[in-house]
Structure 1
Amino acid sequence: MTLNPLQSTLLPPASTLGRLRVATYNIHKGVRGLGPMKRLEIHNLGQGVEALDADMVFLQEVRLFNHREAKAFARTTFGWPDGGQADFLAPEGYEVAYRTNAITRDGEHGNAVLSRWPIGDIGHHDVSDHRFEQRGLLHVPIQWNGVTVHTVTAHFGLIHASRVRQARRLADFIAHTVPEGAPVVVAGDFNDWGEKLDTPMADCGLQRAREAQGRASKCLTFPSRVPVFALDRFYTRGLACRSTFVPRGGAWARMSDHLPLVAEFDLA
């Protein structure tokens, strides 16, 4: 068996079986750089996702297909993967849920969940606030240790007013879709540069995941080379955060403009 160097040197081991370990990661469509410096990172991201050793991995900016980039990378050493990026990134034995958010000239991209636990019916809810940004919520109920955890993967807009409206639509979606009292994990890239979204999300009954007495600097994820913003987050209901972790180092900084955020929860 080949040892994954990311797993052995940069991540703490997973905790006890009864604790839920989750990760959220904006993978930047599996590509980094511009022009002749553009490089394919999806193969390295596969090792990164495996190294996270999470029960559930929430992904944003995931491609099902893109004809232009598939052609551009066809002659590289490893090449553009066959099939969608979500299936390609899923470790062996994980179930996959994916839905498209945005349609572009050459392809599309959206959100995904990779789960080592059984998943239920996959839902998608459009929360686009204007025609220039196509945004959606991916809803996946997951059976974890005999409990149904309702997961929502989100990628909010670039304008604060849009994010507030999307938080309200998220609240309406949960109220109409998720049973009252059921555990909820909302994960993703919230683009909340000004740290103003916690109150609107609390109004939805969702609390931002922070470990007790934890340092805010532990959760900085953007930009990946010198992170100064905590754009990637978990908001939860019915779960207690026990730890948070952001893997760092040159390998992680190279793969995407975001770093992944890892957290562990117990039932509240």
Structure 2
Amino acid sequence: MKIRVATYNIHKGVSSFRSTPRVLALKKAIGLFDANVVFLQEVQGRHDRYQARYGEKVRSPHHHWPEAAQHEFFAGESLHAAYGMNAVYDHGHHGNALLSAYPIANMHNHDISDHAYEQRGILHCILETEAGNIHCYVVHLGLFEGSRRRQTDALVNCVKESAGENEPVIIAGDFNDWRNTLSDCLRLKLGVVEVFDELERRSSRIGDLVRNVAGRQQRLVPARTFPAALPWFRLDRMYVRGFKVEHAEVLHGPQWARLSDHAPIVANLQLA
């Protein structure tokens, strides 16, 4: 079975500059992924201030803010959706979400907040496909390195407790891991591969021979996704287990820079 997967931090549905709504444009952009499953971070479940200013009753077509929660608006009638509320404030809340062409058999949001100033979570969804269940984990880790290490430990425990060793797994989202210190832990403890690492490993066999002679290991690095206008930092990741990675790319350029501060990742996977 082939599956196309995307991950995208949508910056709460507002532009990086001036914080103007981009919800309508984001829905169209998500459609361009042509993906079976979409992992979303910073999804606005409710925002009373934007609703009052840009809602349907205000009739602001260029800066529209739908009455429905963003994940429900993006899903429409054609996709299944799940939402994990993480950050709650007086005028609303936001968190992670999953959009799926496959039925979502079960979902659970795990609170991995490390301190009072950042609310973070892991949204775990089990998808029912014709080839069996697939475990999906939508991730958005903290801004501080110590927090990310502890949250990664929580992610490892979450996957081990909820998915069997032989069950396919997709972990994707915004890891904020700009120094790439977490990948080795996930590879060793969960048996996952990062999609760009896997493609690079398969395409560099000659380089492997040279490195073996020199006694050096291959340096694996994820793709650059932030900032979207000129991606430099490697913040967003997609790790898989039980899949062959056929293709992976970062979507960047003026169109994507207008929508969010992160560039999306899209990958084609083949169930092993």
- TM interval, shorter chain, is 0.7 to 0.9
Aligned AA (1:21): R
Aligned pairs (5 A) from 1:48-87: 48-74=29-55, 75=58, 76-78=60-62, 79-87=64-72
Q: What is the root-mean-square deviation in Å for CA atoms of aligned residues?
A: 1.9
Matching residue's letter, 1:43: L
2:236 aligned with 1:232, yes or no?
yes
Residue 213 of structure 1 corresponds to which residue in structure 2?
A: 203
Aligned pair in 2 of structure 1 residues 147, 222: CA closer, same or farther (>3 Å)?
A: same
Matched, 1:47 2:28: yes
Specify whether residues 186 and 95 from structure 1 end up closer, same or farther in structure 2 by C-alpha distance, changes over 3 A only: same
Query: What SS is found at the alignment partner of 1:32?
Result: coil
Q: Distance in 1 between matches of 2:239 and 2:267?
A: 11
Structure 1: which 5+ runs fail to align? 1-17
Larger Rg: 2
Q: Which amino acid aligns with 2:61?
A: T
Query: Is 2:198 aligned against 1:204?
Result: no
Higher helix share: 2
Tell me the residue number matched to 1:176.
161
Q: Which amino acid in the other structure matches residue 265 of structure 2? A: L
CA displacement, residues 24-57 of structure 1 (integer Å, 9 cap, x when unaligned): 00000001145xx331101000000001000100
**One-letter code of the match for 1:249?**
G
Paired AA for residue 104 in structure 2: I
Match of 1:188 in 2: 173
Structure-1-length-normalised TM-score = 0.87
Contact 1:50–1:91 under 8 Å retained in 2:
no
The residue that corresponds to 1:7 in the other structure is none
What's the offset of the Cα at 1:249? 2.2
Contact 2:2 2:270 in 1 (8 A): yes
Q: Deviations over 1:66-103 (max 9, x none)?
A: 11121222332253101100011125411111110111
Aligned residues: 249
**SS at structure 2 position matched to 1:138:** strand
Asked if 1:242 corresponds to 2:228, the answer is no
Structure 2: runs of 5 or more not aligned:
205-219
Cα-to-partner distance string for 1:201-239 (whole Å, 9 max, x where unaligned): 12321321222328x899321100000122111112211
Q: 2:114 aligns with which of 109, 129, 133?
A: 129
What's the offset of the Cα at 1:146?
2.1
Is 1:138 equivalent to 2:123 in the alignment? yes
